[in-house]
A and B are shown apart, each in its own frame.
Chain A
Amino acid sequence: AAGVIQSPRHLIKEKRETATLKCYPIPRHDTVYWYQQGPGQDPQFLISFYEKMQSDKGSIPDRFSAQQFSDYHSELNMSSLELGDSALYFCASSLGGGRYGYTFGSGTRLTVV
């Protein structure tokens, strides 16, 4: 079965650079979520989209933005990167409000040097 696809798996950027993370949800899933997970921490919610409209926003810095496109894939854009942005970034998708569960991708490990 198709899973949530994230790219790239690993990304190394320098401070003040820009990064774009991509997420391809499971076909027919109507909601996409982005999470940030620091070392030894639980996933922190960033932003979500339901049917291509932003549905909720968490502790997402103003330097970050995200959108969901007509083909349902989503991109997380991160500018003016800081060392503290180094983390695992997960995308998840769900159908029916997640009551059947959220399916997470394998994540993008972002390292800012």
Chain B
Amino acid sequence: TQLLEQSPQFLSIQEGENLTVYCNSSSVFSSLQWYRQEPGEGPVLLVTVVTGGEVKKLKRLTFQFGDARKDSSLHITAAQPGDTGLYLCAGPPSTQKLVFGQGTRLTINP
């Protein structure tokens, strides 16, 4: 089983600050996905990264896939209270299962 380690597990910052969340593995992934989950709801897909070195932007969120396809990062610029939630990296997508990292619980304080 390919394992994913996320860091930090908890992050609490002030509105307007920048932050980066990391997702690391000792295994090579064909692709990785990032999800955001709010309390009591299912995870919602944010992005899929496929190519080593790939950078994808989603408004204030920037996702990067490592050159060796073993790690990924999520950078949020000028965080807002609406960004609060559980951020999960996961992979690889298949018809069998999707393995999740432990998640980063992000709290943005007004």
Interface residues of A (CB under 8 A from B): 4, 30-31, 33, 41-43, 45, 48, 50, 55-56, 58, 88, 90, 92, 94, 97-107, 109
Contacts and interface: CB of A to CB of B under 8 A. Distances in A.
B100 A43 contact: yes
B97 A103 contact: no
Candidate in B33, B45, B88, B96 with the most chain A CB atoms within 10 angstroms: B96
Given A31-B95, A99-B31, 18 more contacts: A30-B95, A33-B97, A45-B98, A48-B97, A50-B95, A58-B97, A92-B42, A97-B94, A98-B93, A98-B94, A98-B98, A99-B48, A99-B93, A101-B45, A101-B48, A104-B42, A105-B42, A107-B42
Contacts of B93: 94, 97-99, 101-102
B44 interface: yes
Nearest to B45: A101
A42 B98 contact: no
6 contacts: A31-B95, A42-B102, A43-B100, A48-B95, A90-B42, A99-B93
Interface in B38-95: 40-45, 48, 50, 88, 93-95
Given A100-B48, A101-B33, A102-B45, A107 B95 contact: no
Given A94-B93, A99-B31, A101-B48, A109 B40 contact: yes
Contact of A97 (B40, B43, B95): B95
B89 to A, nearest CB: 10
A107 B40 CA distance: 8
Most B CB atoms within 10 A — which of A48, A58, A99? Answer: A99
